[in-house]
């Protein structure tokens, strides 16, 4: 039988981090961030959080990454209080390129339809 605990914990972390970013983090650099996916290791020691941004500017993406790195301690502490886990996982934030890739594919399809 497969172990689905890491996926369930990932979904819970995703829900809680979205709430924490909206209500607790006051940094304007992270206001337009959307959490798209969370991958948790099998031993629940690390969680990789994938996020997307509406802006395509490199400076906005860099500012968002800096804001997330600065708020990482607050987010982890809040997660520890909200979740009933033995140890709160270490958080790693990575930008999700799939949204940008999907927009690129849509643009290519639009160009083909115009021709």
Determine the structural domain holding residue 72 and report its residue range.
4-113
Q: How far apart are CA 77 and CA 27, in angstroms?
A: 17
What's the chain's Rg over C-alpha atoms?
16
Closest CA to 89 of 103, 79, 97, 98: 79
Give, rounded to a whole angstrom, the gap between the first and last alpha carbons of the chain: 52
* CATH number of the structural domain spanning residue 24: 3.30.300.20
pLDDT of residue 1: 39
The count of domains in the chain is 1
pLDDT in tens, 57-108: 778 889 999 999 999 999 999 999 998 888 999 999 999 888 778 888 989 9
């Amino acid at each position: 039988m497969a172990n689905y605990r890491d996926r369930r914990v990932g979904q819970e972390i995703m829900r809680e981090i979205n709430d924490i970013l909206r209500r607790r983090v006051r940094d304007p650099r992270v206001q337009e961030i959307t959490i798209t996916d969370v991958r948790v290791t099998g031993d629940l020691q690390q969680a990789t959080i994938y996020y997307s941004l509406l802006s395509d500017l490199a400076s906005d993406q860099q500012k968002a990454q800096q804001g997330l790195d600065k708020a990482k301690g607050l987010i982890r502490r809040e997660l520890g209080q909200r979740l009933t886990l033995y140890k709160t996982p270490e958080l790693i934030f990575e930008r999700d390129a799939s949204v940008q890739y999907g927009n690129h594919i849509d643009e290519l399809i639009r160009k083909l339809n115009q021709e």
